Amino acid sequence: MNDHDFFLARSRGLRRDQTPAELILWGRLRNRRLDGIKFRRQHVIGRFIVDFYAPEYDLVIELDGVTHVGKREEDRIRDDDIAALGMSVIRVWNTAIYEDLECVLEGIWRRCYEIRKRRAEGGK
């Protein structure tokens, strides 16, 4: 099995076994429910599988739970690697999904709006 096949199989497994926070957020992002923005879940980007991805905006959304405690440097390196591919990353703690989902959704929408505005003005 080559790397690409491995990552595809792994992403399918992750879609089947979503965390509770991923299920909640996906319920609000799927089928273009957030302002018509298309999102993919457990999407393969290079050597990474990202939680959510908005291809039109090159925006990655990563949900962080207890497995990320103490891994700030690893997450920063991963975010930098993704940014080097021309994408931006939003990191959201699972607790924010449980405690203030509307605020999280507004933050995602605002980032998409900022990207759209910057592109309309001729920026990347």
Q: What is the CATH number of domain 3-120?
A: 3.40.960.10
Q: What is the pLDDT of residue 6?
A: 72
Cα–Cα distance list, 66 to 19, 54, 95 (Å): 12, 25, 10
Q: Domain boundaries in the chain?
A: 3-120
pTM: 0.86
Kind of pairing, strands 48-54 and 59-64? antiparallel
pLDDT per residue over 35-74, tens digit each?
999 999 999 888 888 999 999 999 999 999 876 566 788 8
